[in-house]
Chains A and B, each alone.
Chain A
Amino acid sequence: MTVTETQQDVTQFVERFESLKAEIGKFIVGQSDVVENVLIAVLCQGHVLLEGVPGLGKTALVNTLAKVLDLQFRRVQFTPDLLPSDIVGTNILIERHGDKVFEFQPGPVFCNILLADEINRATPKTQSALLETMAERSVTVAGNTHPLPSPFFVLATQNPIESDGTYPLPEAQLDRFFFKLKVNLPSHDEYSEILNRTGGLALPQVDVVATGHDVLHMGRTLKQVPIEKQVQDQLVQIVRATHPEDAEASADVKQYVRHGASPRAAQAMLAGARVRALLDGRFHVANEDIHAVALPAMRHRLILSFEAEAQGMTTDDVIEKILKQHA
């Protein structure tokens, strides 16, 4: 590949990203940060955990994303009685040519985009069924491993205010989410725009802007974006600064953090920063890119101490302090 072709790839990357964002924006009012970060995660082939109160358009966002990418979309409403086999599939006994044989019946997880709605309502057993699918992008049933189609993304949602009948996601599963995005309430103007768009007879229509192949190609492009050694060191320092056992950790981290971010967080931050660098028209990762993706990449990977929870501290507060120290 020549320099010119690379430059064209980058140009195409940015144009597709912008068109995806614009197309989604036709249906989703506001939430531009959320949309952008979802797209970044998708391009990095990462899974996203969307957290927000009901009615903010989380499911609509995922639906729209599936439409504009022309990808196979499945939705699973997580409930306490949901079984793992309901998600990943199961072997069923069927009669074929007079013989009764077990045949694998794929679950809803066999798609390109899986919406795991209210994922924290399922039991831990069911939640953990997603572990293999999210990490390995394959399903193993009765000793047989079945690969999932590519690309494969899990977009999960959870309600932060309802705690009755919910099961908090285990740390291992949280760590497998690329980003955790908080969907905030829309502003006044956004409310009005939502009403305008959805109050009529016809809903806004979105078009296919890119395909799964394009997403994979864009993913390959962004992985070539270089990062300078010192900038990378800063990234590592930020991640290490979240560990209370680290010698250079701040007093706040030692006091409020029980467990720091994993190496997956660093990987997610680097990938996200690369996309942001390209979107900013640069061919290198800057410190600003790392700071921009630090919150969504690390907020679900930190485990706060009881003291922090008692004082109303959130992981965002801790991460922001760390970012200030490493500005």
Chain B
Amino acid sequence: MQQNPIEPHPQQDHHDVAHFVSQVRRRLDLHRLAYGACLIATVVGILLVIVGLIYVLQGYRVPPAWYPVMGVVGMMAMAVYAWLGRVATNQAARYADQFFGLKDAVRSTLGFAGREDDFCKLQAAQASQTVKMLKPSAIPFAWPRRTILAGVCLLALACVLGLMDESQSVRDAREQKQLVLDRTLQINTAVQELAQQLLEIDDSDLDAQTHEALNQLKEQALELKPQQDMKIAMKQYARLEQQVQQMVQQMDTRPAEKMLARIGEQLKDNPQHRQLGQQLSAKQFKQAQQTLQQHKQDHRLSKEQQRQALNRLKSLSTSMARASESASRSGSSSSSNSNNTNANASGMSGQISQSIAELEKFADALEKAQQKEGLDQNQSPQNKDTSASACKSCNSALGKLGQCMSKLSGQRKLNQQLSMMRKSLSQCQSFLCQSKSQCQSLSQSLAACQKPGLKAGTASSGMFNRIEQSLMASGALDQLLGQKGDGTSTKTTEQANDGQGVSSKARRTIQRDYANALESFVQREDVPVPVRTGVKQYFQQIHEMDHEVIRDSN
């Protein structure tokens, strides 16, 4: 200092020092940015590895979107880091003083800016001379080697994790979900069609309550949603099946049908009423209603014709009343055994019994009126009116009985449809549970449902063969043979030696085996009582229902 006098140029000196400081600041910012990039890359690598491990350990493939997302997040974090961590001028000045050993020269020069005293000018000039000999590029940057190494390793590991394929179980689960979704879509469509078919039944014979129940059923069918979860899907179909089952139980027409069948058997013995008897036995209630209308009385006919018609009616009503009475007796004894006979069914048979009783009563009244009219020589109009009135009552009773039969016919049809629907729903659940390889088409499953099974022990191996032949003719070989190499063949006939011949086991034995198995199950103490009761009722119901269906189909 003493040897080289300083010539101060205040503005230039300050500018030189400020420029030097800004260069130092830029370099420090650059270093900080580089360090931040390494650090953030490492953090991004750690996050990607964690995310990747979460997916891979669960068997999933890492979604590729994570990589650009984390990249963008990292860039944003770096921008925020760089912005928030900018080196201030004072910091840069202090760093320069420390790094270059300037003993606060730079900081002081910046601090003395604006001061005009000689010492400040000399100080600025001295600092300016000093910084001119310095290069900010001499400030070294120590790359964080460990951080870089860790970041590179982590990013590489994240890439490896990203390339790993998903596990077989996850693929299977996804395919299963898609399968369930597709199947529920198919099933929903099929069930809704079935519900629509229910509404298309001739409903002139059905009451308003039944209509309302049918509409509710349809609404529920329309509310079915496609599901990915097997359990939820099964639940919704089971719930619908349960409701259909309740409806089937509510519209149980069997007591009335039994009564009419018994009446029909009774009437078959009478040549005059054989046609009606056959119709009733065959459960052709619509035709039976029309046949009944032939027994209408007309007081305008000749007396002889009136008498003949009355005799026919009388014999009919007497036979029906007798059969009804015996059926009611047997019905009351059977109802004591089964508690689930519903009010609707007993009401229908009761109405029929009541109509028959009224018919008999009015037929007797008509007979008396006709006798009285025959004995009356004066042909008084009073007797004629009495006879006409009795005649009208008889016709009314006949009409009422016919209406009962018509209603029964309608309910029976509806009941059959509902049973079909219930079985279809059951088949749908089976269809839903089938694995992909075992899967029949839904139409096949429903077709199988519409081809009713046979009651245990009632079919012969010959019948099985007939069904088999018909299925082979229709091309549904999967149902018979199964998928090759996948599971046991459904072609095996139970207890037959080779599945082709006649079963060597008597059907009674098979039936007894089934019965024993059921009994042993329902008597097991480890099975809860509600379950045992449910199983027992279920088998009773399908036993009776299948029996009815077989008879109808025959």
Chain A residues close to B by CB (< 8 Å): 1-4, 6-7, 10-11, 14-15, 224-231, 280-288
Complex contacts, A15 vs chain B, CB 8 Å: 2
- The reply to whether B112 and A226 contact each other, CB–CB distance below 8 Å, is yes
A226 touches B123 (CB 8 A): yes
A286 touches B103 (CB 8 A): yes
- Chain B hits for A230, CB < 8 A: 90, 107, 111
Query: Nearest chain-B residue to A226 (Cβ)?
Result: B119
Query: Are A2's CB and B118's CB within 8 A?
Result: yes
Give the residues from 1 to 20 in chain B that come closer than 8 angstroms, CB to CB, to chain A: 1-2, 5-6, 8
B88-116 CB mask vs A (1 if < 8 Å, else 0) is 00100000000000011101100110010
Q: Is B117 an interface residue (CB 8 A)?
A: yes
User: Which residues of the other chain, B, contact A283 by a CB distance below 8 angstroms?
Assistant: 119-120, 122-123, 126
User: How many residues of chain B have a CB within 8 Å of chain A?
Assistant: 22
**What 0/1 pattern do residues 113 to 142 of B give for CB contact below 8 A with A?**
001011111110010000000000000000
Assess A284 versus B123: contact at CB under 8 Å? Given A14-B2, A230-B90, A230-B111: yes
Q: List 22 A-B contacts (CB under 8 A).
A: A2-B118, A3-B122, A7-B118, A7-B122, A10-B122, A11-B1, A15-B2, A224-B117, A224-B119, A226-B108, A226-B123, A227-B108, A228-B108, A228-B111, A231-B108, A281-B1, A283-B120, A283-B123, A284-B123, A286-B104, A286-B108, A288-B103
Task: Contacts A231-B108, A284-B112 given; indicate if A3 touches B121 (C-beta within 8 A).
Answer: yes
Instruction: Find chain A residues with CB under 8 A from B111 CB.
Output: 228-231
Q: Which residues of B contact A225 (CB under 8 A)?
A: 119
Q: Given A3, A224, A287, which contacts B8 in the complex, CB threshold below 8 Å? A: A3
| A226 pairs with B115, CB closer than 8 A | yes
Chain B residue with the shortest CB-CB distance to A224: B119
Q: Mark B375-389, 1 if CB is under 8 A from A, else 0.
A: 000000000000000
Query: Chain B: which residue is nearest A277 at the CB level?
Result: B103
Contacts of B108 in A (CB 8 A): 226-228, 231, 284-286
- Check if A4 sits within 8 Å of B5, measured CB to CB: yes
Q: Assuming A230-B111, A282-B105, A283-B120, what are 7 further A-B pairs, CB within 8 angstroms?
A: A6-B118, A10-B122, A227-B108, A228-B107, A228-B111, A231-B108, A284-B119
Residues of B near A281 (CB, < 8 A) are 1-2
Residues on A with C-beta less than 8 A from B120 are 226, 283
Most chain B C-beta atoms within 10 Å of own C-beta, residue among A2, A3, A4, A15: A3
**Interface on B for A, CB 8 Å cutoff?**
1-2, 5-6, 8, 90, 103-105, 107-108, 111-112, 115, 117-123, 126
**Chain B, residue nearest A11 (CB):** B2
Give the chain A neighbours of B1 by CB distance below 8 A.
11, 281
B118 neighbours in A (Cβ, 8 Å)? 1-3, 6-7, 224
Across the two chains, which residue of chain B brings its CB closest to A221?
B119
Q: Complex Cα distance A262/B2, Å? A: 36
- Which chain A residues border B5 with CB–CB below 8 Å? 4, 7
Smallest Cβ-Cβ distance to B3: which chain A residue? A11
Q: How far is the CB of B96 from chain A (nearest CB, A)?
A: 13
Q: How far is the CA of A313 from the CA of B123 in the complex (A)?
A: 40
Closest Cβ of chain B to A22, distance in Å, is 16
Give the complex CA separation of A229 and B108 in angstroms: 8
- Complex CA–CA separation, A283 to B107 (angstroms): 13
Chain B residue with Cβ nearest A281: B1
Q: Which residue of B lies closest to A234 (CB)?
A: B104
Contact B122 A280 (CB under 8 A): no
| Contact assessment for A282 and B90 in the assembled complex, using a CB-CB cutoff below 8 Å | no
The reply to whether B6 and A284 contact each other, CB–CB distance below 8 Å, is: no
What is the bound-complex CA distance between A226 and B120, given in angstroms?
7
Query: Do the beta carbons of A282 and B112 come within 8 Å of each other?
Result: no
User: Do B104 and A231 touch across chains, with their CB atoms under 8 A apart?
Assistant: yes
Let me know if B107 and A226 touch, CB within 8 A: no
CA A72 to CA B448, docked complex, whole Å: 135
**CB-defined contacts of A284 to chain B, threshold 8 Å:** 104-105, 108, 112, 119, 123
Alpha-carbon distance between A219 and B123 when the two chains are bound, in angstroms: 19
Specify which of B107, B118, B123 lies most central, judged by the most chain A CB atoms within 10 Å of its CB: B118
Closest residue of A by beta carbon distance from B7: A3
A287-B97 Cα distance, complex, nearest whole Å: 11
Note all chain A residues with C-beta closer than 8 A to B105. 282, 284, 286
- Is A6 in contact with B104, judged by CB distance below 8 angstroms? no
Contacts of B117 in A (CB 8 A): 224, 226
Which residue of A is nearest B101, CB measured?
Answer: A288
CB-CB under 8 A from B107, the residues of chain A are 228, 230-231
Shortest C-beta distance, B99 to chain A (Å), equals: 14
Q: Tell me the minimal C-beta distance from B100 to chain A in angstroms.
A: 13
**A293 CB to closest chain B CB, in angstroms?**
14
Residues of B within 8 A of A280 (CB): 103
A165 nearest CB across to chain B (Å): 47
Cα A200 to Cα B1 in complex, Å, equals: 41
Q: Which residue of B lies closest to A6 (CB)?
A: B118
Cβ–Cβ < 8 Å partners of A7 in chain B = 5-6, 118, 122
Chain B residues contacting A3 (CB-CB under 8 Å) are: 8, 118, 121-122
Contacts of A2 in B (CB 8 A): 118
Q: Interface centre among A226, A230, A283, by most B CB within 10 Å? A: A283
Distance A230 CA – B126 CA, assembled complex (angstroms):
19
A282: chain B residues within 8 A (beta carbon): 103, 105, 123, 126
Contacts of B90 in A (CB 8 A): 230
**In whole angstroms, how far apart are the Cα atoms of A151 and B537 in the complex?**
126
With A and B bound together, what is the CA distance between A283 and B103 in angstroms?
11
| Top 4 A-B residue pairs of the complex, sorted by shortest distance between their CB atoms | A228-B111, A283-B123, A286-B103, A6-B118
A6–B104 CA distance with the chains assembled, in angstroms = 21
Of B103, B107, B120, most buried by chain A (CB within 10 Å of CB) is: B103
Cα distance, A1 to B103, chains bound together (Å): 27
| A residues in contact with B123, CB < 8 Å | 226, 282-284
A residues less than 8 Å from B115 (CB atoms)? 226
Q: What is the bound-complex CA distance between A229 and B483, given in angstroms?
A: 93
Q: Which of A10, A225, A282 has the most CB of B within 10 A?
A: A282
CB closest residue in chain B, given A229: B111
Highest count of chain B CB atoms <10 Å: which of A6, A224, A226: A226
In the complex the two chains form, what is the Cα distance from A237 to B169 in whole Å?
68
Report how far A284 CA is from B123 CA in the complex, Å: 6
Would you give the shortest CB distance from A16 to chain B, in whole angstroms?
Answer: 12
Query: Cα distance A227–B120 when bound, in Å?
Result: 9
With both chains docked as a complex, state the minimum distance between the C-beta of A254 and any C-beta of chain B, in angstroms: 28
Query: In the complex, how many angstroms separate the beta carbon of A312 from the nearest chain B beta carbon?
Result: 34
A231 to chain B, nearest CB (A): 6
Docked CA distance A287–B94 (Å): 11
Query: In the docked arrangement, what's the CA distance between A10 and B112, Å?
Result: 19
In the assembled complex, the CB of B131 is this many whole angstroms from the nearest CB of chain A, namely 14
User: Which chain B residue has the least Cβ–Cβ distance from A3?
Assistant: B118
A284 to B126 CA separation, bound complex (whole angstroms)? 10
**Complex: how many Å from CA A283 to CA B108?**
10
